[in-house]
């Protein structure tokens, strides 16, 4: 197996049109990268996510953005519920519909668990770094927990208010966001990526 490729450029394209996500990623990688831009700022189209896994979708988005000539980073993340055959999984955002109604999405998950005893779940974050020549480095982070009902807490987003991480008494929705970011699936993935490509 060849050694991982290091990021040596000065500009990184974050393959997203979501300004909040772009800011969050730029904060996390700030110490290692001189300049950031985003797919949104470059006017790049959002590719259709046709992959069947988080990794496949992250790689697809990163490669599409890297075609513009800079190294690009993409993420794909979601909630996996084993008792629901892994749903919502890669469709986590789609379960919330066009209006991004995550109260509805959480209710959908809860309805699916009505007759089930297994309420375990985990968040996944795949991060993919792609170079214009087609080379890709990808990592996947996870955070395990249990789903609670009713949802608790005003913080975070998505399914955070119903996700109770293992070993903790507060949901991601109740938790101080700095604390959540230290232990989340995204933090796990970024630790791996920094170690692999940015140190």
Enzyme catalytic residues? 76
> Is residue 196 annotated as involved in ligand binding?
no
Distance separating alpha carbons of residues 101 and 95, to the nearest angstrom = 8
Rounded CA-CA distance 45/85 in Å is 32
Sequence-distant (6+) residues with CB within 8 A of 71 are 7, 9, 11, 12, 13, 129, 130, 131, 132
Residue 18 among known ligand-binding residues: yes
Tallying the residues shown for the chain, one arrives at 199
145 appears as a binding residue in the annotation: no
> Was 19 annotated as part of a binding site?
yes
In 29-162 the beta strands, taken as DSSP E runs, fall at 35-38, 71-80, 120-130, 136-147
158 annotated among ligand-binding-site residues: yes
Cis peptide bond upstream of 81, omega within 30: no
- 61 known ligand binder: no
Query: Residues 6 or more apart from 108 whose CB is under 8 A from it?
Result: 88, 95
| Extended beta strands in 89-186, E state | 120-130, 136-147, 163-165
Confirm whether residue 135 is marked as ligand binding.
no
185 is in an annotated binding site: yes
Tell me whether residue 2 is annotated as binding.
no
152 annotated as belonging to a binding site for a ligand: no
* Residues flagged as binding site for Mg(2+): 48, 76
* Residues flagged as binding site: 16-21, 48, 76-77, 157-160, 180, 185-186
* Residues flagged as binding site for substrate: 16-21, 77, 157-160, 180, 185-186
């Amino acid at each position: 197996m060849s050694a991982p490729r290091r990021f040596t450029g000065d500009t990184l394209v974050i393959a997203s049109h979501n300004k909040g996500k772009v800011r969050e990623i730029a904060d996390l990688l700030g110490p290692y990268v001189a300049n950031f831009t985003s797919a949104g700022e470059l006017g790049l189209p959002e590719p259709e996510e046709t992959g069947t896994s988080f990794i496949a979708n992250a790689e697809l988005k990163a490669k599409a953005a890297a075609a513009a000539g800079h190294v690009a980073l993409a993420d794909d993340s979601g909630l996996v519920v084993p008792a629901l055959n892994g749903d919502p999984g890669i469709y986590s955002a789609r379960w919330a519909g066009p209006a991004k109604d995550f109260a509805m999405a959480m209710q959908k998950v809860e309805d699916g668990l009505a007759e089930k005893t297994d309420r375990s779940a985990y968040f996944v974050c795949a991060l993919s770094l792609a170079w214009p020549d087609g080379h890709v480095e990808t990592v996947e982070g996870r955070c395990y927990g249990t789903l609670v009902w009713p949802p608790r807490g005003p913080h975070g987003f998505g399914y955070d208010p119903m996700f109770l991480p293992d070993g903790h008494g507060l949901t991601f929705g109740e938790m101080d966001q700095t604390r959540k970011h230290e232990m989340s699936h995204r933090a796990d993935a970024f630790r791996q990526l920094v170690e692999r490509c940015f140190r």
